[in-house]
Amino acid sequence: MPVHNSEIATIFDHVADLLEIEDANRFRVRAYRNAADTIRDLGRSLEDMLEEGADLSDLPDIGEDLADKIAKIVRTGQLPLLEEISDDVPEAIVKATRIPGIGPKRARALFKALDLSSVDDLRDAAEEGDIAEIEGFGEKTQTRIRKELKEGVIEDERLRLDVAEDFAAPLMEWIRNIEGVSKAEIAGSYRRRKETVGDLDILVQGEDGSAIIDCFTEYDEVEDIASKGKTRSTVTLRSGLQVDLRVIPEPSWGAALYYFTGSKSHNIAGRRRAQDRELKLNEYGLFDGETRIAGATEKEVYDGIDLPWIHPVLRESRGEIEAAENGELPELVESEDIKGDLHAHTTASDGKNSLKEMAQVAQDKGYEYLAITDHSKSQTQAGGLSEDAFHRQVDEIAELNDEFHGFRLLASCEVDILEDGRLDFPDKLLERLDLVVASVHSKLDLSEDKQTERLIRTMDNPLVSIIGHPTGRQIGERKAFALDMEQVLAAAKDRGCVLELNANPIRLDLKDVHCRLAAETGVDIAISTDAHSTGGLDNMRYGIDQARRGWLAAENIVNTRSWGNLSKMLRRT
């Protein structure tokens, strides 16, 4: 049975979580986290690499020990070390670390003090007031825990889009190779490119539905078959992902794709338009009485209710019907519009590739520029650079640029925003840079007022070009910190500061609704990957998806401009 890269990365991340909770050596913890990051950014299957005889220890941050562990996971699907540590650490402690302000040490102390073993135990303790009685916690922390548990964030079982893709890609290859299948598409939230996916809705067109269903259920990752009919089957994969497959007749293909793509509220609006025209719209087609008048293509369906085709990413009932009716749908940004990437790391801090290696891959992508934004000194755990080291890197970048033609490495820094809004480096150093990305990495639990004031004070510094990952969230791991986004956007507009849409699928920060609000406010966005390896540069596509969900056009994105135009725009002094 195949083992996916995302599964191996998840195992290593889980080991790191458990080791951190046990207060293990921080370098050992970091080794597993770095390895997980390397695996996520790989463009090739580790299983395939092993079959070809590749030496995995040659990969960045994968030494012989971790290479052996990867091979064991590929062979058996398990890692004995994880099972050993899991016996000593309740899974609920790991989940508790997703609560803002509750790190591994505090979570361990909390569970030990109250002899907790599950999330239900934690919920009972919070409701009964026991947490507030523990030294170092108090009523404020107890209230926060109650709130997070009520919202269900720490138990969210939806998969990130990139993880869902890791399982969906080989499954779709299997389905499209089934004899008799002429079309196959994933619909639902996956097609709408939502940042998380609950399940997969797959539509297939083919002659013999029963034979197609039989082959589908024989896929080697199917763990459970919930239902199996002549035209529909529901299964659960080994990963826990539920997959619904439907065999659709050709005359209904477009209507079914429309219906199962959703969203529900978008479909309701479409049905109401059909009713207003004395028509009926469902997954089988658009009907005038008993006569199907459209359904073979989505365009037919939209034409039938007097609308132009609406891109799936916009189908969230956020005004797209009205915009389509008035001819005001946005011309969404395309991958081809991107001229460069404004956030990337190298081995100088916590990246996995050198300046030259990052530059080469950026050039291969056809970029005109790549900003090198290694961490500033406060980020010791991420190898933050000293002031002298940064001056040396700026000089090295200048020397490399003499070798390039039609491409430029930009000297930059992801400088830490301190608690009071000041920056981790003095202006004298920042003045040497082509641009400055300023980011929050600490004190994430400040109040909304203080966090908002912190970012606005940072933007007061005219040397700050871009605010990196503005809300600090990590999908499925850490909520966004408290922030008045409207105030932040207003301040950014007044000061001419750019906000980042961090394209790393773990972050996708800004959210889609904030991207749209930024465009409406007149604030420009930089779609950047925050790449920590050459493979990480490929994450730009997730940022493009998120931007499109936020109705952004090329004109809203600063890195759709050439460096000559962009450099003038970023110059605030």
The pLDDT of residue 155 is above 70: no
Q: What is the pLDDT of residues 430-468, one digit of tens each?
A: 999 999 999 999 999 899 999 999 999 999 999 999 999
* Distant-in-sequence, close-in-space partners of 363: CB < 8 Å, separation ≥ 6: 404, 407
> How large is the average pLDDT for residues 85-112?
81
Domain termination site, one of 93, 120, 155: 155
Buried b or exposed e, range 123-147, using 16+ CB within 10 angstroms: bebbeeebbbebeebeeebbebbbe
Domain termination site, one of 105, 132, 155: 155
Most confident of 51-60, 61-70, 287-296: 287-296
Tokens of 189: 């939230």
Neighbouring CB atoms inside 10 A of 64's CB total 10
Q: What is the pLDDT of residues 312-357, one digit of tens each?
A: 999 999 999 999 999 999 999 999 999 999 999 999 999 999 999 9
Q: What are 291's strand-pairing partners?
A: 288
* Whether 409 and 470 share a structural domain: yes
The CATH number assigned to the domain holding 204 equals 3.30.460.10
Buried b or exposed e, range 397-424, using 16+ CB within 10 angstroms: beebeeeeeebbbbbbbbbbbbeebebb
Most confident of 133-147, 182-196, 558-572: 182-196
* Whether 31 and 170 share a structural domain: no
Q: Is residue 19 part of a domain?
A: yes
Mean of per-residue pLDDT scores for the chain: 92
pTM: 0.87
Cα dist. 509→64, 182, 422, 516 in Å? 35, 38, 22, 13
* Whether 318 and 373 share a structural domain: no
Q: What is the pLDDT of residues 379-391, one digit of tens each?
A: 877 778 999 999 9
* Whether 132 and 184 share a structural domain: no
* Whether 560 and 449 share a structural domain: yes
Contacts 24+ apart (CB under 8 A), 387-395: 387/425, 387/426, 387/429, 389/348, 390/425, 390/429, 391/429, 391/432, 393/348, 393/355, 394/432, 394/433
Supply the pLDDT for residue 171.
96
In the chain, how many domains are there?
4
* Whether 471 and 518 share a structural domain: yes
**Strand 159-160 to strand 222-228: parallel, antiparallel, or no bridges (unpaired)?**
unpaired
The CATH number assigned to the domain holding 72 equals 1.10.150.110
Supply the pLDDT for residue 156.
63
* Whether 467 and 375 share a structural domain: yes
Q: Is residue 410 part of a domain?
A: yes
Supply the pLDDT for residue 152.
67
Q: How buried is residue 436: exposed, middle or buried, by Cβ count under 10 Å (0-12/13-18/19+)?
A: buried
Per-residue pLDDT band at 207 (split at 50, 70, 90)? confident
* Whether 196 and 131 share a structural domain: no
Q: What is the pLDDT of residues 459-513, one digit of tens each?
A: 999 999 999 999 999 998 888 888 999 999 999 999 999 999 999 999 999 999 9
Cis peptide before 412 (omega within 30 of 0): no
CA dist., res. 110 & res. 116, Å (int): 8
> How large is the average pLDDT for residues 221-241?
93
Task: Determine the 3-state secondary structure of 160 from DSSP.
Answer: strand
* Whether 381 and 501 share a structural domain: yes
Give the rounded percent of residues in the chain with a pLDDT score beyond 70.
99
The CATH number assigned to the domain holding 423 equals 3.20.20.140
* Whether 136 and 222 share a structural domain: no
Domain termination site, one of 325, 359, 381: 325
Domain of residue 190, residue span: 159-247
Cα dist. 304→265, 285, 543 in Å? 19, 10, 33
E strand intervals along 162-198: 181-186, 196-197
Phi, psi of 212 (to 5 degrees): -65, -45
Of 430, 429, 470, the C-alpha closest to 451 is 470
* Whether 368 and 257 share a structural domain: no
SS (H, E, C) 419-463: CCCCECCCHHHHCCCCCCEEECCCCCCCCHHHHHHHHHHHHCCCC
Supply the pLDDT for residue 27.
86
Q: Is residue 330 part of a domain?
A: no
The pLDDT of residue 516 is above 80: yes
* Whether 237 and 139 share a structural domain: no
